[in-house]
Amino acid sequence: MTRRLLALGGLVGFVLALASFVRRGSARRRERVDLYYDDGSMISLPDGSPESERLLALGRDALRAARA
């Protein structure tokens, strides 16, 4: 009985950890910076690059200013 409860607890813990990992991953994927230039070119800054982190921080500042 105790062994079954332990196994069940372990399974629930694993499922919760997996769900949290997947949710965090999808939230991360949603973060991006797309720049369109007047010569018709477009740049999508790679996730985690210093440029994208800087522009994401400025974007968050703008969101905060709008929602304050």
Given a contact cutoff of 8 angstroms between Cβ atoms, the answer to whether 55 and 68 are in contact is no
Beta pairing partners, 57: none
User: Which residues are near other proteins by CB under 8 A?
Assistant: 27, 30-39, 41, 43, 51, 54-56, 58-63, 65-68
Q: Measured from the CB of residue 30, what is the shortest distance to other proteins in angstroms?
A: 5
Closer of 3 and 64 to other proteins (Cβ) = 64
* Shortest Cβ 46–other proteins spacing (Å): 12
Distance CA(30)–CA(12), nearest Å, equals 27
